[in-house]
Structure 1
Amino acid sequence: MDVARQALDRMQQVLPQEGFIPLHEPTFGGAETELLIKCVESTFVSSVGAYVDEFERRLAEFTGAARAVAVVNGTAALQVALDVCGVERGDEVLMPALTFVATANAASYLGAVPHFVDSEEHTFGVDPVRLREHLVSAAEVRDGVCLNRSTGRPIRALVPVHVFGHPCDVEALAEVCDDYSITLVEDAAESLGSWRDGTHTGRFGRCSAVSFNGNKIITTGGGGAVLTNDEALADRIRHLTTTAKVPHKWEYRHDAAGYNFRMPNINAALGCAQMDQLEGFIAAKRTLAERYAQAFDGLDGVRFVTEPAGCRSNYWLNAVLLEGDAVATREAILETTNAAGYMTRPAWQLMHRLPMYEACPRMELPVAERLEAGVINLPSGAGL
């Protein structure tokens, strides 16, 4: 039996099939309809309302962050996070080449330039050792500012990504940032419900971005949030994302070019119902991951991706990594599993391969290229 057929057989052991199985669909098994109806009846469906306040409070409580500010989506959350952390037009922002395009877009919207760095195989996140080696040769700190020796541009921030919900080595990355006067802003879009050494992802940098898109572990339809332990920074984010409107009983006064990014109350109502079920979603996804790990154990050239040591992952997207000769079977596995009704997907195309980012600075990316060639995501919804 060829590798593709064996991979399908292992998936069928975990998920006996009845119809098409999506990669990650939302689960609505709580008070979603009830809260949505109450929100509509209240007439407060836009960016002001009790559900927004409640959703933010519960996010902060769950993650341990001092504050959460809910916005329209995860990309907007990352954009405003970079903005308030001082990223300006012409700055460079370090980020993994292996990420969803929104990470690079968020920097680009500010006029900043993505600077792509390599990943490590056991976390899929930015490799802190190789990043430091890269900065030794590529950068220098002058008057408290990290500068790219080749371009002369400031390297203002690092955006590590917790890929597929698995925490990266963010503590080591924070040390690199400290040594090079770089601000750490986490892209925690995929990792709500993931912890590293007992600390929730998104709490290691100055602030972080979380996503609640329809394919995330909980959803608000569209939505995101910025997490931070800095009260003043949270106030600034809230102000900027509410069109920088100065409070007044009737006048429209604005003191900055702000964003219309606040999460609508009706989306937050959905989020509150989802938060009630979050612990159950995490437990279900971890059980699914255990079953995948058992099923794929012993399949030559196919390794199920497990959480890094010292971490507790939400297993947002389950994945296998093809190794050795099995890498050549990736397309056959994708074709075989999808034809059988199991939605599987490769990892994202590396950012420097996209036409709008191909001229951006980057280090050598051998690990990211191996991961791009060998990763396949498996159906991962909590309802499975």
Structure 2
Amino acid sequence: MKGDGESIARELVDMVAGLYAPERKVPLHRPVFEGNEKQYLVDCIDSNFVSSVGAKVVEFEQRIAEFTGAGYAVATVNGTAALHVALQLAGVGRDDEVISQALTFVATCNALSYAGAIPVFVDVDRDTLGLSPVALRAFLEAHAERRDGGCWNITSGRRIAACVPMHTFGIPLRIAEVAVICDEWGIALVEDAAESLGSWVGDRHTGTFGRLATLSFNGNKVITTGGGGMIITDDADLAKRAKHLTTTAKVPHPFEFVHDEIGYNYRLPNLNAALGCAQMELLPQMLEIKAGVAQRYRDFFAGTGVSFVEPLPGATANWWLNAIVLGSEEERDAFLQYTNSREVMTRPVWRLMSRLPMFQQCQHDGLETSRWLEARVVNLPSSVPESEFPRLRA
């Protein structure tokens, strides 16, 4: 980055260092344990229920369902496992196609591959960084037809079974419009809400617009269980089947081991759920604090010519990772080099899935906006600052 851009990078390092003092190296996002985490872990150990059966798993599921407004929540070992099973529940089978976005973390497409599905990549919107309803409709009108009770890709000859949009960095995409299009075309909508716990569109939480959605509680998310995920749905039958599949498809019996289909050992251990219960108690305060961090960045970048990524009017982001859009790939790379060399962690957006070797042959719509964003988007340190920890302990 040259000229004014380099000055912005230098000033940002000073601003971030002040925000996150006294940390010497400022991470992108680290977990915060300032509530009842230790006590709940001790409670689990004292109960002897530390694995996949225990009261904290049930409590964590109930807390997530209540917070998101979903009818049901089923805990899993991680978000990728949750998405794998959600796709199966949505009826995605081997050699089906699933429309998603190339601008996403690789776990999205890994889960599609576990299900035997083939990704098809549609472009994103520049303002939300999420799957574009305009691009989705244009792709379907050009390449798809409704027949035999489903949606078929007339170019490949395969069934388009589902659409998996992702709320990038916790910023809600135009999910209501995507939901309408999926309904018109007979495509199951499965939201990848891994990054968006605490994000809303009006009064509806992300993940509640389709048949199913998934969340992640990895160590770098807004709240963490160390590793963990969740399937959420309003369908009681889907929730029941999700629990069955994720617990090795074991049929209840007083003493015999009976499994009626191929299942998965995707259960969340009680210890991890205990962390999640404690973290959920802190979530409202952490969301408020993170909104304050976002405001600091918003004020900093005002008038600099650097775009700070904001949610759409009427939407609320959880501010998991704050993001900016720089003027060019060269500016991005210089910005990343300068900040990281001074121990302020910044990161580019992920490499597009269509450029990874295992997905290079997948059909896409040109991905013009995705490619533009890939060259310019940078994430900034977004943790809850240590100076705010007393507020969490109160």
TM-score category of the 2 structures, normalised to the smaller one: over 0.9
In the TM superposition, residue 89 of structure 1 has moved relative to its aligned partner by 0.3
Unaligned runs of 5+ in 2: 387-394
Match of 1:123 in 2: 128
Match of 2:6 in 1: 4
Cα-Cα RMSD:
1.0
Contact 1:5 1:333 (C-alpha < 8 Å) held by counterparts = no
| C-alpha distance in structure 2 between counterparts of 1:6 and 1:42, whole Å | 53
Match of 2:199 in 1: 194
Letter of the aligned partner of 2:384 in structure 1? A
In the TM superposition, residue 14 of structure 1 has moved relative to its aligned partner by 4.6
Q: What TM-score results when the alignment is normalised by the length of structure 2?
A: 0.95
Match of 2:15 in 1: 13
Deviations 1:251-271 (A, max 9, x none): 011111011101000100011
Where do 4+ consecutive residues of structure 1 move more than 3 Å?
none
The aligned runs of 1:170-319 (5 Å cut-off) are 170-300=175-305, 302-319=306-323
Contact 1:5 1:336 (C-alpha < 8 Å) held by counterparts = no
Q: Aligned to 2:11, what secondary structure does the other structure show?
A: helix
In the TM superposition, residue 11 of structure 1 has moved relative to its aligned partner by 4.3
Letter of the aligned partner of 2:339 in structure 1? T
Contact 2:13 2:342 (C-alpha < 8 Å) held by counterparts = no
Assess, with a 3 A threshold, how the Cα gap between structure 1 residues 338 and 45 changes in structure 2: closer, same or farther.
same
Q: Aligned to 2:375, what secondary structure does the other structure show?
A: helix
Match of 1:355 in 2: 357
Contact 2:104 2:350 (C-alpha < 8 Å) held by counterparts = yes
| C-alpha distance in structure 2 between counterparts of 1:80 and 1:13, whole Å | 43
Moved more, 167-176 or 3-12: 3-12
% identical equivalent positions? 53
Letter of the aligned partner of 1:314 in structure 2? N
In the TM superposition, residue 8 of structure 1 has moved relative to its aligned partner by 3.2
Letter of the aligned partner of 2:379 in structure 1? N
In the TM superposition, residue 4 of structure 1 has moved relative to its aligned partner by 2.9
| C-alpha distance in structure 2 between counterparts of 1:110 and 1:351, whole Å | 17
Q: Aligned to 2:297, what secondary structure does the other structure show?
A: helix
Q: Aligned to 1:205, what secondary structure does the other structure show?
A: coil
1:343 aligns with 2:345: yes
Letter of the aligned partner of 1:378 in structure 2? L
| C-alpha distance in structure 2 between counterparts of 1:7 and 1:93, whole Å | 40
Deviations 1:167-223 (A, max 9, x none): 010110011101111000000000000000110000000010000000000000000
**Count of aligned pairs:** 381
Match of 2:374 in 1: 372
Contact 2:99 2:121 (C-alpha < 8 Å) held by counterparts = yes
| C-alpha distance in structure 2 between counterparts of 1:67 and 1:15, whole Å | 42
In the TM superposition, residue 364 of structure 1 has moved relative to its aligned partner by 1.3
Q: 1:141 aligns with which of 143, 146, 150?
A: 146
Match of 1:28 in 2: 33
Q: Aligned to 1:260, what secondary structure does the other structure show?
A: coil
Match of 1:321 in 2: 325
| C-alpha distance in structure 1 between counterparts of 2:141 and 2:224, whole Å | 41
| C-alpha distance in structure 1 between counterparts of 2:43 and 2:309, whole Å | 42
In the TM superposition, residue 7 of structure 1 has moved relative to its aligned partner by 2.4
Q: What TM-score results when the alignment is normalised by the length of structure 1?
A: 0.97
